[in-house]
C-alpha cells in the first residue's frame, strides 16, 4: 500500500485508472470502516482510502483536538484489506491557503436534524468531500448509512454538480447488541457502553409502532424522546422522515405508503451518538 500526502503525487499515482473506488475516512478505523473497504472492492479497482480529520466540519464546541488519531494502527488495517493507496494529507496539503470557497448546502436539508444541532457541519463536510473527490477523481465512492443525512447530502451534491462519481451506500455495521459502530464509541464508559444499545432499541420501537399502523408521528417521536430521557439520555431528536428527501411525511404520504426512516441523536454522558433505521 502506498501512503501519499501530496495531491500532485496522488494524481500521478492514479493517472490512467478508470475504475478507482474511494472510501474517505477520518481515521481511528473500526470494523465499520473496514466493511466499507470490502464493499468498495466489489465496485471497482484500485481501492483508495483517505484519512483526514477535517477541521471545517467541527464546531467551536466539538472535539477536533481530542478526536482519536490512530494512524499506524489504521495503516495496518488498510493493508490487510488490500487498499492500493492511502491518501493522508496534512492540513497544509489539503488547505494550502484558507478555504474561502465553500459548498453551501440547501437550507431545507442542511439546517434540520444534524444541521440544526451542529451549525456549519454540512458545509464543512460537503466542502471537504468535493475537494477530496477532485483530488482522487474516483468512479465510485462508498459512504455508510449510519450518517444518513450526510449520505443524502453528498448524493445530492454529486448529482447537482454532475460529478462523475457514483455514490454507493453501505449498511450500518453494528455490534452484536445493536450499537452502531462509531469512532466516538471509545469515549463511552463501561456503564455507558452497556446502556448505548438503547438508542437503537428506541428506533426499533418507533419502527414497530409505525408498522403496526400508528401514524401519529409527533406522538411517537415525543414518547421515544421521553423514554430516552427517563433512562438518563439527553436526546436532541427522534424524528420520522421520508427517505426520499428527509422531510416530514404528510398524512397523505403516510397513507400512500411512503418509504420512511427514523433518525435519532442523543447524548449518553458526554458522548453524542447518532443512529437511524429505515422503516
**Is 33 marked active-site?**
yes
Report d(CA 243, CA 116) in Å as an integer: 18
Phi/psi zone of residue 33: left (φ > 0), alpha (ψ -120 to 50 degrees), beta?
alpha
Find residue 4's DSSP bridge partners: 87
| Of 30, 33, 43, 214, catalytic | 33
Give me the phi and psi of 182, to 5 degrees please.
Answer: -155, 145
Give me the phi and psi of 65, to 5 degrees please.
Answer: -70, -30
> What does the DSSP 8-state code read for residue 183?
G
Give me the phi and psi of 268, to 5 degrees please.
Answer: -120, 115
Grid coordinates of 195: 446502556
Type and span of the H or E element at 276? strand 271-278
| Residue 235 near residue 266, CB atoms below 8 Å | yes
Longest CA pairwise span in the chain (Å): 57
Give DSSP secondary structure letters for 36-64: HHHHHHTT-SSEEEEE---GGG--TTS-T
Report d(CA 256, CA 239) in Å as an integer: 19
Phi/psi zone of residue 146: left (φ > 0), alpha (ψ -120 to 50 degrees), beta?
alpha
| Residue 43 near residue 140, CB atoms below 8 Å | yes
By annotation, the residues acting in catalysis are 33
Amino acid at each position: 500500500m502506498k501512503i501519499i500526502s501530496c495531491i500532485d503525487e496522488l494524481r500521478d499515482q492514479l493517472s490512467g485508472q478508470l475504475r478507482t473506488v474511494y472510501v474517505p475516512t477520518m481515521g481511528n478505523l473500526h470494523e465499520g470502516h473496514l466493511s466499507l473497504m470490502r464493499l468498495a472492492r466489489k465496485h471497482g479497482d484500485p481501492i483508495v482510502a483517505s484519512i483526514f480529520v477535517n477541521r471545517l466540519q467541527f464546531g467551536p464546541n466539538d472535539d477536533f483536538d481530542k478526536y482519536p488519531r490512530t494512524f499506524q494502527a489504521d495503516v495496518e488495517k488498510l493493508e490487510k484489506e488490500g487498499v492500493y493507496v492511502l491518501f493522508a494529507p496534512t492540513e497544509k496539503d489539503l488547505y494550502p491557503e484558507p478555504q474561502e470557497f465553500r459548498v453551501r448546502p440547501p437550507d431545507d436539508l442542511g439546517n434540520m436534524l444534524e444541521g440544526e444541532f451542529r451549525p456549519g457541519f454540512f458545509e464543512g463536510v460537503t466542502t471537504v468531500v468535493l475537494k477530496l473527490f477532485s483530488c482522487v477523481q474516483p468512479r465510485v465512492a462508498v459512504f455508510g448509512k449510519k450518517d444518513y443525512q450526510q449520505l443524502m447530502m453528498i448524493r445530492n451534491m454529486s448529482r447537482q454538480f454532475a460529478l462523475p462519481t457514483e455514490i454507493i451506500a453501505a449498511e450500518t455495521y453494528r455490534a452484536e447488541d445493536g450499537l452502531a459502530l462509531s469512532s466516538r464509541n471509545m469515549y463511552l464508559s463501561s456503564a455507558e457502553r452497556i446502556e448505548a444499545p438503547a438508542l437503537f432499541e428506541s428506533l426499533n420501537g418507533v419502527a414497530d409502532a409505525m408498522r403496526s399502523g400508528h401514524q401519529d408521528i409527533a406522538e411517537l417521536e415525543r414518547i421515544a424522546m421521553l423514554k430516552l430521557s427517563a433512562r438518563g439520555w439527553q436526546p436532541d431528536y427522534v424524528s420520522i422522515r421520508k427517505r426520499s428527501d428527509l422531510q416530514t411525511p404528510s398524512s397523505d404520504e403516510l397513507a400512500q405508503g411512503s418509504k420512511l426512516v427514523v433518525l435519532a441523536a442523543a447524548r449518553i454522558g458526554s458522548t453524542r451518538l447518532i443512529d437511524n433505521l429505515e422503516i
